[in-house]
Amino acid sequence: MARLFGTDGVRGVANAGLTAELALGLSVAAAHVLTEAKAGASAEAAQDGARPVAVVGRDPRASGEFLEAAVVAGLASAGVDVLRVGVLPTPAVAYLTGSLGADLGVMLSASHNPMPDNGIKFFARGGHKLADELEDRIEALYREHAGGQAWERPLGAGVGRVRDYDEGFDNYVAHLVGVLPNRLDGLKVVIDGAHGAAARVSPEAFARAGADVVTIGTDPDGLNINDDCGSTHLDGLRDAVVRHGADLGVAHDGDADRCLAVDADGQEVDGDQILAVLALAMKEAGQLRKDTVVATVMSNLGFKLAMEREGIELARTAVGDRYVLEEMKHGGFSLGGEQSGHVIVLDHATTGDGTLTGLMLAARVAATGRSLAELTGVMERLPQVLVNVSDVDKSRVESASELVQAVAEAERELGETGRVLLRPSGTEPLVRVMVEAADIEHARAVAGRLADVVKRALG
C-alpha cells in the first residue's frame, strides 16, 4: 500500500486523489496524534480554555476552500479549537503555530504544483515539520478508522470552536520586518507573488521595510496560481525588473516557502547564490553558527568552492528541505537551503521562508551599497547537466560494478573542478545523472556516457 505522506505532506489532484473525506479523516487523526498531552481534558477543563488549538491556513487555490472546510470540521470534531488565518504563506502558518503556542498547524497548498493539485502539510508544536515517525502514526491511525472503527468524539462543551484570526497577517509581517538587520530605503524591488499565498504578504513586508515596490503575479483568482509566473517561470520577472529599472526582483512559489531572484540586468540568482550571499553576511555579523552552511547534494560545486575560499564549512544532505532542517538542528547550524530557493534561517523561521529570504537578500544589497550581481559574484556557477534515465532498476545504483567503475573513471577525469552524482528518484523508476564541469560541453559528454552505462547496467 502506497504511503500517503510524501516528501512534503500529502498531495494529489484535489477532489480526485485528495478528497474532502481524506482531508477530514487525516485532520482527525492528526489531532489525536499531535495533541496527546491534552487528549484527556474534561469538558469542564475545555470550557476553561484547556482544549488543544490549531492554526489553519491555505493558499488561494479554489480547492483550498472546500479542503479548508473539511480540515476545520475534522479538527473541531476531535475537540480542537481552530484559528483560521485564511490565505497566508506556509512559513506564516508555521510561525503563527509557534508564536501563538498552538498545538499544531495545518497548511493547504501544493506549493509550485499546477492549480488542480492541492496538499495538506501538518506542523507540530513550535511550528516544526513532522518527523517521519509522526507522519506514520497519523497515517496508521487514519487507515485504522477509515476501515470502519469509530472515533471517540467529544460532546457538548468538549467540541472545538472555530474563529477567524485576522491578526495573523499583521503579526507575521511585523515579525518579518522586525528581524531585518537594516531597512531597504532607496531600493526598488519587483515582486512576483505567483498569484499565490504571498500575493499580499510579500509586497506589504517589503514596503514596510522601506523599499519602492513594483508587483506582478499578485492578483490571485483561485485558478491562476503558478500560471506562467513565480519562481518556476522567471521571464516575466526579468522583463519587469529591466523595464522598471529595479535593483532586483524576487519570485515566490505558490505557498511562498521559496525565493529565487534576478539582478538588475535580469540575470537569474538561484538558491545556491542566495545562500552564498547570506552566508557571508551572517558570518560578518557573527550569526553563522560554527561558520557552517547546510545544503543538499544537488548544490552547485561552485558554491562549495566559494564557501571553502571564504572559510565557511559546507554540510551536505539528501535532497529535500526537511533533510536540510534536520541537519541544521542536529549540528546547531543557523543557515541552510536548496538550489531551488528553499532557504532556512533558523534563528527567525522553522521552515523555508521565501519572503524572509528575499528581504534578507535585499537588506544585504542596501547595507553594502553593492549590486546583487556584485554580491553573487562571490561564486561561479559551474555548468551542471542533469539527465533522467527511465525504466531502470534504481535499487542497484550502488551495487552494479560496471556503473561503479564508470563513475570512478568520470570522477578522475573531471578532477577538482567537476563532480558526478547518481541519484535514484524517490517517486519514479528512474535514475538521475548529474554532472558538473568547468565546461558545459565536457559536462554533457560525461553525462551522456554515464547515462548509457546506467541503461546498459540497470536496464
Count of H helices and E strands in the chain?
Answer: 15, 19
Cell of 282: 551572517
Measured from the Cβ of residue 42, the count of other Cβ atoms closer than 10 Å reads 12
As beta bridge partners, residue 263 has 248
Annotation-wise, does 257 bind a ligand?
yes
DSSP string, 352-387: --HHHHHHHHHHHHHHH---HHHHHTTS----EEEE
Measured from the Cβ of residue 189, the count of other Cβ atoms closer than 10 Å reads 28
Q: For residues 189 and 186, what is the distance between their CA atoms, to the nearest angstrom?
A: 10
Q: Are strands 188-192 and 212-216 parallel, antiparallel or unpaired?
A: parallel
Q: What residues contact 16, with CB distance under 8 A and at least 6 apart?
A: none
* Candidates 27, 63, 111, 231; catalytic one: 111
Q: Which residue reads 515582486 in cell numbers?
A: 191
DSSP string, 86-142: EE--HHHHHHHHHHTT-SEEEEE--TTS-TTEEEEEEEETTTEEPPHHHHHHHHHHH
Of the CA atoms within 13 Å of residue 11, those in its CB half-sphere come to 15
Let me know: does 317 contact 333? Beta carbons within 8 Å.
no
Order of strands across the sheet that contains 343-345? 313-317, 292-296, 335-337, 343-345
Cell of 268: 537569474
Q: Which residue reads 515517525 in cell numbers?
A: 133
SS3 38: helix
Check if 371 is active-site. no
Q: Are strands 313-317 and 117-124 parallel, antiparallel or unpaired?
A: unpaired
Q: For residues 216 and 239, what is the distance between their CA atoms, to the nearest angstrom?
A: 11
CA proximity to 134, closest of 4, 55, 30: 30
Q: Which residues are annotated as a binding site?
A: 111, 253, 255, 257
Q: Which residues are catalytic?
A: 111
Q: Which residues are annotated as a binding site for Mg(2+)?
A: 111, 253, 255, 257
